[in-house]
Structure 1
Amino acid sequence: MKKIGNVLYVTTPEAYLSLDGENIVIKKESAVSMRLPLHNLDGIVCFNYPGVSPALMGACAERHVGLAFLNPNGRFLARVTGRVQGNLLLRKRQYELAAKEDTCVAIATSCVLGKVANSRKVIERAVRDHAILVDVPALRATSAALKESLSSIQQCTGLDALRGIEGNAAKRYFETFRELILHQHEDFDFTERSRRPPQDPMNALLSFLYTLLANEVTSALETVGIDPYVGFLHADRPGRPSLALDMMEELRPVFADRLALTLVNRKQITGKGFLRKEGGGVLMDDETRKSVVTAWQERKRDEIIHPYLKERVAFGLVPHVQASLLARYLRGDLDAYPPFFWN
């Protein structure tokens, strides 16, 4: 099992990273603002414009330190990797199964079941914990609709039908998502999911967290030797980590949606931390991005009992556990891929 190493998030747009011996040097306006040992890091996520020196890229690739580049708004740009790791036979098996409709449906069904079940759990938790503050009938109606979707998902025999059910379930979930926002309604009002660009602060926050999650899942899949770009639910597309998007579906409600709601409801971030661009899109400012990344890292240190392993694991290890379970299924060690069901 993979340990959660330290991940360095570079959120200052003007920062430039270089290598000095065994240390990373971070400069801002030609002045050194930070220096730390490279061997202490498990990954680096950059939201900066100037970028990283070729020497540091090479060192990260050689030492298997994940290095990802995102734009300041959190949109994934690129990932630097070294020699391909992992079992060649495992990847060949993955490609073989990805060409079979029945296997794709089986794995995709597990991912969608996890997503819908966890979305329903988020809603039920809100009813349980904040019945005085939320529209209980509306949320219970959504929960019932999602429960019905779970039955339909299990009966699916084709990917198109499965994608249709997943899309309808997601639409229903986000139709009542605003009921989960308990405070700061004026700044974080939410009517529908919008992307590329997000049209309001809550959508900007969700998109940013989804990008962080996608990077975590991609890294986890690469760690166990699976190709993150060959998926079973999302269609293959050049440059898109389709399998990472498949697996992150079941983790979105728990990892990203709940953290977004916590940050807003506890007023750890405010509407003042978001900027509206001329084209109508909304993005976070530097300080808000730092606050979100800090909360993300703290959340990863929380411990849970994994529903399948029945063992206590750090929350940040869940993507790595799920990647390992998928690898076991692809090898034939498991009869099915067990999705992550949040308890």
Structure 2
Amino acid sequence: MGSTKYITSMGELSRKDNSLCFQKNQKNVYLPIENIKEIYCMNEISINTKLLDYISSKNIVIHFFNYYGFYSGTFYPREQYNSGRLLVKEVEAYSSEKRIIIAKKIVSAIAVNIDEVLYHYYKHKNKEVKRTIDWIRNDFKIQLLQLDDIQQIMLLEGELWQRFYWTFQFVLPTDFMLNKRVRRPPDNPINALISFGNSLLYTKCISIIYQTHLNQTISYLHEPSDGRFSLSLDLSEMFKPIIVFRTIFDLVNNKKLRVKDHFEKKVNYCILNEEGRQIFIKAFEERLNKTFLHKKLNRKMTYKTAIKMDCYKLIKYLLEGKYFEFYSLKEGQ
């Protein structure tokens, strides 16, 4: 699926012959263009139209983050895969009862993955999380089956996330307590980690969807709107428990990220510093590319491949009406 390059320092990115050149402190670092599929600019980077034209010809997606680590936007080359037939089916599904079916499958996958993440802690004698596990396996399932309205489904999804956040007091050390979810800007270390991880996963899904025939702007759980790739929001929600929160729990509980060493706290916001971002990015990429045995398919794959497979499942359903379920941890660890 191609490689990812992260640029975490300030500097200038330009084209040099048939490669990319990153200039930092009067020194040049060359990045071979072959096999690169996406570039993350995690700091203030200067670029020019010559570079963008070259990047576009290679079908490379560039994601931009500002100095504080907040997602700014994406440079998205012209579509390399187009399917008028699929586009018609996507619009038809959004405008019919199929939207409800797909939205329920998304929320159901989120719930299963949260359940599996929490059950790991329950098995290790963290009995307090059982309250949320029991709710997911009983009340949540019953409520989801009865819903036939997008707003109601999204309200139930919101409750699901709130109940998950409630368990953090039993899973994380006191330095990383979550009083409430605050996004823009995050106000404490755990909110900073969640926001940063969610942004990375959202942009990763943009890059993966770009490699398929799906339209980025037509979504089923989230309402399509101007200025964002809403299908990536749908897709990333299901993988947040697996990729973002497992990464956070591992880094925090194993003291690979520490409040005093890896965060900057200002009056009204808290962010990861550069070292903290590098630690998180490394762990995030390792988890994305972690190989596991898919139980149903009886083959090895990575989580990045699992995300792309969910895209193909959705395409098959839209074009052929083929029954499917989105990926869950029950299919592989």
Range class of TM-score, shorter chain: over 0.9
Query: Quick one: which amino acid aligns to residue 263 of structure 2?
Result: F
Structure 2 match to 1:144: 134
Distance 1:191 1:307, change over 3 A: farther
Which residue of the other structure, out of 179, 196, 199, is the alignment partner of 2:170? Answer: 179
Structure 2 match to 1:162: 153
Structure 1 match to 2:176: 188
Q: Conserved in 2, the CA contact under 8 Å of 1:45 and 1:67?
A: yes
Deviates more, 1:236-245 or 1:108-117: 236-245
Q: Conserved in 2, the CA contact under 8 Å of 1:300 and 1:315?
A: yes
Query: Quick one: which amino acid aligns to residue 153 of structure 1?
Result: L
Give the superposition deviation at 1:53: 2.7
Q: Conserved in 1, the CA contact under 8 Å of 2:113 and 2:242?
A: yes
Deviates more, 1:242-251 or 1:187-196: 187-196
Which SS does the other structure have where 1:217 is aligned? helix
User: For residues 206-252 of structure 1, what are the alpha-carbon distances to aligned partners after superposition, in whole Å with 9 as ceiling and x for unaligned?
Assistant: 11111111111112222111112211111122112111111111111
Structure 2 match to 1:296: 284
Deviates more, 1:234-243 or 1:187-196: 187-196
Q: Distance in 1 between matches of 2:135 and 2:179?
A: 19
Which residue of the other structure, out of 235, 246, 256, is the alignment partner of 2:223? Answer: 235
Q: Distance in 1 between matches of 2:26 and 2:319?
A: 51
Which residue of the other structure, out of 26, 31, 34, is the alignment partner of 2:27? Answer: 31
Give unmatched runs, 5+ long, in structure 1: none
Give unmatched runs, 5+ long, in structure 2: none
Q: What TM-score does the superposition give when structure 1 sets the normalisation length? A: 0.91
Which SS does the other structure have where 2:211 is aligned? helix
Q: Is 1:18 aligned with 2:6?
A: no
Give the superposition deviation at 1:308: 5.1
Deviates more, 1:320-329 or 1:45-54: 45-54
Structure 2 match to 1:126: 121
Q: Distance in 2 between matches of 1:230 and 1:291?
A: 34
Give the superposition deviation at 1:306: 3.1
Give the aligned length.
327
Q: Conserved in 2, the CA contact under 8 Å of 1:17 and 1:25?
A: yes
Give the superposition deviation at 1:291: 0.9
Give the superposition deviation at 1:63: 0.9
Q: Output aligned runs, 1:240-255, within 5 Å.
A: 240-255=228-243
Q: Distance in 2 between matches of 1:302 and 1:326?
A: 23
Q: What TM-score does the superposition give when structure 2 sets the normalisation length? A: 0.93
Structure 2 match to 1:274: 263
Runs of 4 or more consecutive aligned structure 1 residues displaced over 4 Å after TM superposition: none
Q: Distance in 2 between matches of 1:177 and 1:60?
A: 41
Distance 1:306 1:239, change over 3 A: farther
Q: Is 1:339 aligned with 2:326?
A: yes
User: For residues 128-161 of structure 1, what are the alpha-carbon distances to aligned partners after superposition, in whole Å with 9 as ceiling and x for unaligned?
Assistant: 1x31xx3x1x211111112221232122211121
Query: Quick one: which amino acid aligns to residue 150 of structure 2?
Result: L
User: For residues 306-337 of structure 1, what are the alpha-carbon distances to aligned partners after superposition, in whole Å with 9 as ceiling and x for unaligned?
Assistant: 355443111222211111111111111513x4
Query: Quick one: which amino acid aligns to residue 10 of structure 1?
Result: I
Q: Distance in 2 between matches of 1:307 and 1:213?
A: 24
Q: Conserved in 2, the CA contact under 8 Å of 1:70 and 1:78?
A: yes
Distance 1:307 1:154, change over 3 A: farther
Structure 2 match to 1:88: 84
Which SS does the other structure have where 1:64 is aligned? coil
